Structure 1
Amino acid sequence: MIHEVDEALRRLLAESGLEVSGVEVVFDAPTREWAARRSAPTVCVFLYDIREDHTRRGSGGGEVYDEAGLVVARRTPPRWFELTYLVTAWAGRPQDEHRLLSQVLTLLVATDTLPPHLLTGTLADLGLIVPVDAGGTGLDAPAASDVWSALGGELKPSLGLRVRAPLAGISRVAGPPVTEGLVMRSVPRARAERDEPGETDGARRLRYTEVSEPAHEEGFGGPRERRPAPARRRRGERQP
Structure 2
Amino acid sequence: MIDEVDTALQGLLTGETLAGTDIQVAFDAPTKDWAARRTAPTVNLFLYDIQEDTELRQHGTMAEYDAEGVLVAEHEPPRYFALSYLVTAWTNRAQDEHRILSILLAGLVRHDAVPPDRLGGTLASMEIPVRLSVAMPPARDRGLADIWTAVGGNLKPSLDLVVLAPLAASVIRAGAVVTDGMRLRLHDNDSPADETRRLRIAGAAADPAAPLGAERERELPTARRRRGGPLR
* TM bracket (short chain): 0.7 to 0.9
2:89 match: 89
1:102 match: 102
Structure with the largest fraction of strand: 2
Partners of 2:34 and 2:53 lie apart in 1 by: 32
Verify the 8 A CA contact 2:132 2:162 in the aligned structure 1.
yes
2:34 match: 34
Partners of 1:122 and 1:137 lie apart in 2 by: 30
Partners of 1:146 and 1:17 lie apart in 2 by: 29
* RMSD of aligned Cα (Å): 2.0
Alignment of 1:203-222 (within 5 A): none
1:80 match: 80
Verify the 8 A CA contact 1:138 1:162 in the aligned structure 2.
no
Partners of 1:108 and 1:74 lie apart in 2 by: 36
Deviations for 1:153-202, whole angstroms, at most 9, x for unmatched residues? 100000001111111111122222212233222222548xxxxxxxxxxx
Task: Confirm whether residue 187 of structure 1 aligns to residue 156 of structure 2.
Answer: no
Verify the 8 A CA contact 1:76 1:170 in the aligned structure 2.
yes
Deviations for 1:81-109, whole angstroms, at most 9, x for unmatched residues? 11111000001111111111110011111
1:145 match: 145
Task: Confirm whether residue 43 of structure 1 aligns to residue 43 of structure 2.
Answer: yes
Q: After superposing the two structures, state which structure 1 stretch, 177-186 or 92-101, moved more.
A: 177-186
Secondary structure (helix, strand or coil) at the match of 2:86 reads strand
2:211 match: none
Alignment of 1:124-203 (within 5 A): 124-136=124-136, 138-140=138-140, 142-190=142-190
Secondary structure (helix, strand or coil) at the match of 2:34 reads helix
Alignment of 1:220-239 (within 5 A): none
Shift of 1:59: 1.0
Opposite residue 56 of structure 1, the aligned amino acid is L
Identical amino acids, percent of aligned pairs:
48
Partners of 1:128 and 1:108 lie apart in 2 by: 19
Partners of 1:23 and 1:59 lie apart in 2 by: 44
Deviations for 1:60-92, whole angstroms, at most 9, x for unmatched residues? 111334566543322100001111110000011
Secondary structure (helix, strand or coil) at the match of 1:16 reads helix
Unpaired runs of 5+ residues, structure 1, are 192-205, 208-240
| Shift in alpha-carbon separation, 1:70–1:124, aligned structure 2, 3 A | same
Secondary structure (helix, strand or coil) at the match of 1:184 reads strand
TM-score with structure 2 setting the length? 0.77
Task: Confirm whether residue 119 of structure 1 aligns to residue 119 of structure 2.
Answer: yes
Shift of 1:51: 0.6
Partners of 2:141 and 2:117 lie apart in 1 by: 29
Q: After superposing the two structures, state which structure 1 stretch, 72-81 or 152-161, moved more.
A: 72-81
Deviations for 1:31-80, whole angstroms, at most 9, x for unmatched residues? 11000000101000111001111110001111334566543322100001
Secondary structure (helix, strand or coil) at the match of 1:147 reads helix
Report the count of equivalent residues: 193
Partners of 1:34 and 1:55 lie apart in 2 by: 37
Q: After superposing the two structures, state which structure 1 stretch, 70-79 or 44-53, moved more.
A: 70-79
Partners of 2:72 and 2:28 lie apart in 1 by: 40
Partners of 2:56 and 2:189 lie apart in 1 by: 62
Highest Rg: 1 or 2?
1
Secondary structure (helix, strand or coil) at the match of 2:87 reads strand
Partners of 2:81 and 2:140 lie apart in 1 by: 13
Secondary structure (helix, strand or coil) at the match of 2:184 reads coil
Secondary structure (helix, strand or coil) at the match of 1:43 reads strand
Q: After superposing the two structures, state which structure 1 stretch, 72-81 or 46-55, moved more.
A: 72-81
